[in-house]
Copies of this chain bind each other. A is one copy, B any other.
Amino acid sequence: MSRRIGFSTMRYENAPCIISGAAIVGPTEGEGPLGKYFDIVLEDDLWGEKSWEKAESKMFEEAVKLTLEKANKKSEDIQLMLGGDLLNQIISANFAARTLRIPFLGLFGACSTMAESLLVGSALVDGGYANEAICATCSHFSTAERQFRFPLELGSQKSPTAQRTVTGAGASLLSRNGDGPRVKYGTVGTVIDLGIKDAGNMGAAMAPAAVHTITAHLRDLDRTPDEYDLIVTGDLGALGSDIVRDMIKEQGITLGSNYTDCGCEIFSKEQDTHCGGSGCGCSASVLNTFILKRMREGVLKKVMFVATGALLSPTSSQQGESIPGVAHALTIEM
């Protein structure tokens, strides 16, 4: 029996329920407009650890634990965890999985990981391969800066198109049964590269992939954007989300005021983060607190969540490669 619609969209017949979600963020994120929604706001981004990398892994682990607690579950009851992060060899996720001891599928979709983990996790729960699945991801400003850009100690100035990697971890618990928002459809993204080479302009690099996936999702479901209460991309920021509006208009589709981007919502203009937030933790923390809460309250009934990833490494950039992007989309309905 086919659970496929169109070319690249999966239909989750039993529509797995997101029975709980949680997010832990850093101090700057806590000071932002969504600060009050996050479960834990750290006072400092080392969180008592000896390195930022260890702190990032702890954030992943604790976000998972918090999500399970909210659903009155223990980690030993959970049969499946899916997730990843931005660090080389996804060490944040892998080291958290070591402590949690939940059977683990590691993913790498850069900042699209929250959507990728929900997309695969929903299929595995929907199809009866697991009763529950915990989906999680994280990112950390200080680990990302030194891995992808410059050591913080250099005090490098950012370009106006740059975004700030969110220090944040978010997790969702999917279950066949329960109450809450349900994941109904998922579209697997295609890797798209229109030739952007500026690693200080990730929004522009990822925008074409977002457009490709949003149009595929709408086409496969035979829907228009106005059928959604919210269409939200992951971390395109101010410039990237403007590009999405422009590019999608060229295809005859207009995104109205129901379109926004997690990277534009998480920081205020006064926080001077240039184009906004980025990183896996950006969409993960916004989805798993603010958006899920609004859905449970009935304010949002139909949401398209489209997390986007820039698929570069310092090595690929040094070798002159441009930056491909990918985006995965989900329709989540209350």
Contact = CB atoms under 8 A, between A and B. Distances in A.
A89 B110 contact: yes
A192 B98 contact: yes
A190 interface: yes
Given A109-B105, A188-B105, A313 B120 contact: no
A106 to B, nearest CB: 4
A277 B252 CA distance: 53
Contact of A104 (B94, B123, B326): B326
Interface in A113-159: 116, 119-120, 123-124, 126-131, 147
A299 to B, nearest CB: 31
A257 interface: no
Interface stretch (A19-27, A48-56, A242-250, A263-271): A48-56
Nearest to A317: B91
Given A4-B130, A316-B95, A107 B108 contact: yes
A280 to B, nearest CB: 12
B97 A191 contact: yes
A3 B128 contact: yes
Interface stretch (A36-44, A65-73, A79-87): A79-87
B129 A189 contact: no
A314 B53 CA distance: 12
Contact of A190 (B103, B126, B315, B321): B103
A295 interface: no
A237 interface: no
Given A107-B107, A116-B105, A191 B315 contact: no
B104 A107 contact: no
Contacts of A187: 103
A196 interface: no
A324 interface: yes
Number of copies: 2
Interface in A277-334: 311-316, 319, 321, 324, 326
Contacts of A86: 89
A61 B331 CA distance: 31
A2 interface: yes
Contacts of A4: 79, 128-131
30 contacts: A2-B131, A3-B127, A4-B131, A7-B79, A8-B80, A10-B124, A10-B130, A54-B319, A86-B89, A88-B88, A89-B108, A89-B311, A89-B316, A90-B108, A90-B311, A91-B316, A94-B326, A95-B324, A97-B324, A98-B324, A105-B107, A105-B116, A105-B119, A106-B116, A106-B326, A107-B107, A107-B108, A108-B108, A123-B127, A147-B315
Which 8 residue pairs are nearest across A and B when measured between Cβ atoms?
Answer: A127-B127, A103-B188, A94-B311, A89-B313, A97-B191, A3-B128, A108-B108, A88-B88
Interface of A: 1-4, 7-8, 10, 50-51, 53-54, 79-80, 84, 86-91, 94-95, 97-98, 101-110, 116, 119-120, 123-124, 126-131, 147, 187-193, 311-316, 319, 321, 324, 326
